Structure 1
Amino acid sequence: MDLREKIESSPMRMYQFVIIGVVAFLNALDGYDVLAISFTAPSIRGEFELSGTALGLLMSAALIGMAIGAVTMGPVADRIGRRNMTVAALIVNAAGLFLSATAQSPAELSLWRFITGLGVGGILVGTNVIASEYSSRKRRGLMVSIYAAGFGLGGAVGGTIMMALIDAFGWRSVYVFGGVMTILALALVLSILPESPQYLYQRQPRGAQRKLDSIARRLGYTEPVDLQAKPASLSAQEPETSGGNEIAGLFAPGQRRVTIVIWVSFFVVMFGYYFVNSWTPTLMHDSGLTESLAMFVTVMLTLGGAIGCVVFGLFTARWSTRQTLTWFTLLAGTLMAVFVFTANWMALVLVVGILVGFFANGCIAGLYTLTPQSYPTRLRSTGVGWGLGVGRLGAIIAPTVTGVLTDAGWTPQTIYMGVGLIILIATAALLSMRRLDVEANRSPREDLQAAEPQRAS
């Protein structure tokens, strides 16, 4: 039995749903972490007397770590295994969170936030691939979207918890709680999360046969697993990797076009999403909302993001991932531009905030779905890692640029409109790939063929 093909073609089993739940919880740590710096920013700004530019740089520290972690740990995960990378990254992440609670200066806090980001970057490159590989062909779009929804859910639930923690114990308690949750996540990974089956087949590390047999039993399959099975799609399209060629492989003739579009889309989508999550409490307060209401609007935004991820997955059952993602970027950019103008009407700002989160985080779910489908197994974690890394560059720049613009006197209205226009760049990039519809329900062979440029274009 080829376990990969079995997972692809069979209905989802309970263990697969458990795996999706675990990786969604890990992604929720990212959502919690992004809101942690957003919600604690007013207290940190007051304690350390920071300017807008300095606060923006502090907000970017973890995002820099995430970008470096994603691009450097992606290739490592392809070599040592996605589960092993996730375990190591969780340890680093927990250390950064606990140390953040001890910071006595902006520089010290920036360092610990950077360490936290390194861990989050390593978590994402492994869990995104595992979510994709343990989903059936029919349900892959929905399952990866549920995984992506963890980000918004972590922000929404975590934001509510953070508001209570800050009021009761101060801003440092937010990071202590995050560290405790990360330790819990580590225990779940060690006890539940399996290794990527594609990695075990292709790399065949020591104990690969035993691990595949164990995974098959937990999935409820009784047939013996054939470690030497070579599906035609893999043998014909995926030569064994040679050391050090993974990054260059992203720009091979069969991958160059999709890599450029994915990188551009990741950059502008994450620029917009991390801007709105990082600065909404501050900018909405500057626009006339009370501090508590501005935070509540941000919670609604992240809740809308969780819903948007799941709905995106449902849409991919009927339309291609690229086509659905194109519409989501168009609506996210448009709504971002008008969001701040609704601040004078409480009910309207909450509704539009939910919709901004719905479409913006739905875009991230779309990129999480599109990216692993677009690359062969030997490049999958590398492709996801570099896509996330480039996206994190946008996320890094967004808070810092916003801080500089606020110090320069830009109004919140002008800033939100500018970010909306930036998101529309992704719409244009995806429209240029209208003949490259990578669908969640395609076979592995079709996914690989779809990732190649159309000769006629």
Structure 2
Amino acid sequence: MSDVTAEELRSMVNTRPMTFFQITSIGLCVVINMLDGFDVLVMSFAASSVSAEWDLSSGDLGLLLSAGLIGMAVGSVWLGPYGDRFGRRLLVLACLTIITLGMLISSQVADKYELVVCRFITGLGIGGMLATLNTMVSELSNDRKRGLCISILQSAYPMGAIVGGIISVYLLSEFGWRSLFMFGGLSSLAMIPIAYRFLPESMDFLLSRGDKHSVDRLNELSGKMDLPMIGMTILSEERQADVNLKTLLSQPYTQKTCFIWCAFFFLMYAFYYVVSWTPKLLVDAGLT
């Protein structure tokens, strides 16, 4: 057992070259984020077919397109913080399960009201997932590659939507709109055992715990990352104070926090408005 401290262990992760284990773990997060990209926009791909089958008004369609996004907002705020309480890995698995259930049930709904509920539930899982994946990738990366790794993670989101859109063309023509939700649900279902087997827990989360079980898991993780092991006594003495929402809204962060929130809100508002309605508008314009 080494006498290295928790802070020194964090410093090693930040300064040492990334191991194959870290790279593959980040790659798994990227694949999961690609699935999220498809799951978010699947309603946009299915919008014209759903609208034609159920004779939906623009207001009904707008509600269906918005339900998942509202769920994402709620999921990010509500589920995201549980990653600090129960662990990033457990939250990713829980969100994958929620997304899987929401997508599979969406493929069997009988009316627009049931689909709205299912899209909201799916959005809850996606919102919690997006918040957690960003944190996991940041904590798995070193200082030199962190920006690149987060950029790759974020690029996976639209890439998943692009690949999913291409697949949707075939599925819609051959099996109808319900097959899109079935495909997304089965893809998420297949990812659950893979994530359970290969996705590691966050080192920062384990360092924040300090109990014997967390130390054992931390030392197992350290071995995979070519890092020295750490003693429980040293670890438990170095817990850091929690940084929460109250911290972000207190001085000197108040103004910066509000500016960032507003900028990101308007950016996401414009982005999701365009990508949600574009497929339906193109079909209405005569394109197929």
**TM superposition score normalised by structure 2:** 0.91
- 5+ residue gaps, structure 2, are none
1:414-425 paired onto structure 2 within 5 Å: none
Residue 225 of structure 1 aligns with which residue? 230
Partners of 1:205 and 1:277 in 2: CA distance: 46
- Determine which of 72, 94, 99 is the counterpart of 2:100: 94
The match for 1:261 among 237, 259, 262 is 259
1:166 alignment partner in structure 2: 172
Q: Is the 8 A contact 1:201 1:227 kept in 2?
A: no
CA distance in 1, matches of 2:75, 2:225: 31
Structure 1 residue ranges without an equivalent (≥5): 293-457
Contact 1:202 1:240 in 2 (8 A): no
Distance 1:34 1:127, change over 3 A: same
Match of 2:241 in 1: 240
Answer whether contact 2:212 2:232 (CA < 8 A) is retained: no
The structural deviation recorded for 1:41 is 0.2
**Cα distance in 2, alignment partners of residues 42 and 280 from structure 1:** 11
Name the SS of the counterpart of 1:273 in structure 2: helix
Kept in 1: contact 2:71–2:127 (CA 8 A): yes
Q: CA deviation at 1:177?
A: 0.8
Deviation of 1:81 (Å): 1.1
Report the more deviating stretch, 25-34 or 168-177: 25-34
Q: Is residue 32 of structure 1 aligned with residue 33 of structure 2? A: no
Matches within 5 A, 1:55-94: 55-94=61-100
Q: 1:260 to 1:229 in 2, by over 3 A?
A: farther
* 1:185-204 superposed matches below 5 A: 185-204=191-210
Q: Distance in 1 between matches of 2:212 and 2:52?
A: 53
Paired with 1:268 and 1:218, the residues of 2 have a C-alpha distance of 41
* 1:228 Cα deviation after fit: 5.5
Q: 1:272 aligns with which of 270, 274, 278?
A: 270
Deviations along 1:90-123, whole A, 9 cap, x unmatched? 1111000000001110001101111111111121
* Aligned residue runs from structure 1 range 54-453, under 5 A: 54-205=60-211, 207-221=213-227, 223-227=228-232, 239-241=240-242, 246-286=244-284, 288=285, 290-292=286-288
- 1:262-307 residue CA offsets vs partner (Å, 9 max, x unmatched): 2112201111111121111123445x4x423xxxxxxxxxxxxxxx
Alpha-carbon distance in structure 1 between the residues aligned to 2:26 and 2:171:
29
User: Is the counterpart of residue 20 in structure 1 residue 26 in structure 2?
Assistant: yes
Q: Within 2, Cα distance between the matches of 1:38 and 1:227?
A: 50
State the 1:21 CA deviation.
0.9
Structure 2: how far apart are the matches of 1:92 and 1:282? 27
Structure 1 distance, partners of 2:212, 2:87, is 12
- In 2, the alpha carbon distance for the partners of 1:229 and 1:270 equals 43
What is the number of equivalent residue pairs in this alignment? 280
Which residue is 1:346 aligned to?
none
1:254–1:82: structure 2 CA closer, same or farther, 3 Å change rule?
A: farther
Letter in 1 for 2:220: S
RMSD between aligned residues: 1.8
Change in CA separation of 1:228 and 1:135 when aligned onto 2, cut-off 3 Å? farther
Q: CA deviation digits over 1:189-238, x for unaligned, max 9?
A: 111111111111113355111111111111233x22345657xxxx7xx9
Question: C-alpha separation between the residues in 2 aligned to 1:254 and 1:58?
Answer: 40
Opposite residue 218 of structure 1, the aligned amino acid is K
CA contact 1:27–1:150 (8 Å) conserved in 2: yes
- 1:44 aligned onto 2:47: no
Q: In the alignment, residue 287 of structure 2 is paired with which amino acid? A: E
Structure having greater relative contact order (Cα 8 Å, sep ≥ 6): 2
Worse-superposed segment, 250-259 or 96-105: 250-259
Any conservation in 1 of the 2:138–2:150 contact (CA below 8 Å)? yes
CA distance in 2, matches of 1:44, 1:51: 11
Amino acid at match of 1:224: M
Partner Cα separation in structure 1 for residue 111 and residue 104 of structure 2:
15
Q: Is the 8 A contact 2:107 2:181 kept in 1?
A: yes
